[in-house]
Amino acid sequence: MCRQFITAGKMSGLSKLLKSIYNEDIKIKLLDEIRKEEENLEEEIEKEIEEQKKHKKDSEVYDAVLTHNIPVIAYDEGGKFITEMKWGIMFDPAKKTPLIFNSRDDTIGMKPFWKNLFDKNRILIPMTGFYEWKDIGQKKKLKIKIVLKRKEIFFVPGLYRRNKEGKLEFSLVTTSPSSFLKEIHNRMPVILDDDSVLNYFTDSLEENLAKLKPSQEEIITEELLS
């Protein structure tokens, strides 16, 4: 279960990070084709930079937490673009239905509702790392930071829906743990390889379902004080 991850700042931070570290092939796919959200995107970015200065935020990354707006990559009318969506799907706030922030790969494969969302409402969630809580007995858990050894940034598939207020809410897709993670937790985010990222928005449902498997990328872990 992933309930906290590290992301590349807001939209401007994500754009800068992608430009700085990805190879030309991915730049073409994830940056040159990003649709600027109307003509006010540059103005929004300037506002973000000013807000960061105001709050003295020196880091280009921050921890994404549940119910916050998180930068994601979406797809519309043949183009990819950076936008923000709220992390966590809640079907009926009045009835206090559970907040769905992870979607299991096996649930997506079996249940028509989730399969349809995954097919029609796809997003990519950029991360530079994530956290898991390892059970260490006596009802205690150890928080562990996890990053990839060979990638500064990676992409996790997700799905979204529009709530009754018209706002977009998303859930990220998880799978069984890799050989590197199985001692820490019994689930992990699906981490797409570069080829899968390039084709994620245009591949068929069946092709994308086949991508929902544990990544064998080597990881670096850091135990954190709670």
Q: What is the pLDDT of residues 17-75, one digit of tens each?
A: 787 777 677 776 777 666 554 445 556 656 655 665 555 444 567 888 888 899 999 98
What does DSSP say about strands 188-189 and 69-76: parallel, antiparallel, or unpaired? Answer: unpaired
- List, in sequence order, the alpha helices (H) in 73-188: 105-110, 112-120
> Average pLDDT of 191-210?
93
Phi, then psi, of 151 in degrees rounded to 5 = -135, 130
Residue-range definition of the domain harbouring residue 19: 4-224
Whole-number pLDDT of residue 136: 82
- Considering 1-15, 40-54, 77-91, 97-111, the range whose residues carry the highest mean pLDDT is 97-111
Q: Give residues with Cβ within 8 angstroms of 133, minimum separation 6.
A: 141, 142, 143, 144, 185
Assess whether pLDDT exceeds 50 at residue 193.
Answer: yes
- List, in sequence order, the alpha helices (H) in the chain: 11-21, 24-27, 41-54, 105-110, 112-120, 194-199, 205-209
In tens, the pLDDT along 146-169 reads 999 999 899 999 999 999 899 999
Phi, then psi, of 127 in degrees rounded to 5 = -135, 150
Which has more pLDDT, 182 or 27? 182
- What does the alpha-carbon distance between residue 35 and residue 55 come to, in Å, rounded to a whole number? 29
Confidence class for position 3, pLDDT limits 50, 70, 90: confident
Assess whether pLDDT exceeds 70 at residue 16.
Answer: yes
By the 8 A CB rule, do 26 and 194 touch?
Answer: yes
DSSP 30: I
Q: What dihedral angle (degrees, nearest 10) is formed by the CA atoms of 32, 115, 206, 24? A: 20
By the 8 A CB rule, do 99 and 88 touch?
Answer: yes
Whole-number pLDDT of residue 96: 83
Q: Would you state the structure tokens that stand for residue 168, as one six-digit string? A: 């977009």
Burial classification of residue 124, based on how many CB atoms lie within 10 Å of its CB (0-12 exposed, 13-18 middle, 19 or more buried): buried
In tens, the pLDDT along 93-116 reads 888 888 999 999 999 999 999 999
Number of structural domains the chain divides into = 1
The whole model's pTM is what?
Answer: 0.85
Q: Would you state the structure tokens that stand for residue 94, as one six-digit string? A: 């009045």
Q: Residue 44 is part of a domain; what is its CATH number? A: 3.90.1680.10
pLDDT averaged over the chain?
85
Q: Ramachandran region of residue 53, left (φ > 0), alpha (ψ -120 to 50) or beta?
A: alpha
Q: Give residues with Cβ within 8 angstroms of 132, minimum separation 6.
A: 1, 2, 143, 144, 146, 181, 184, 185, 188
Whole-number pLDDT of residue 126: 93
CB atoms within 10 A of CB 158: 27
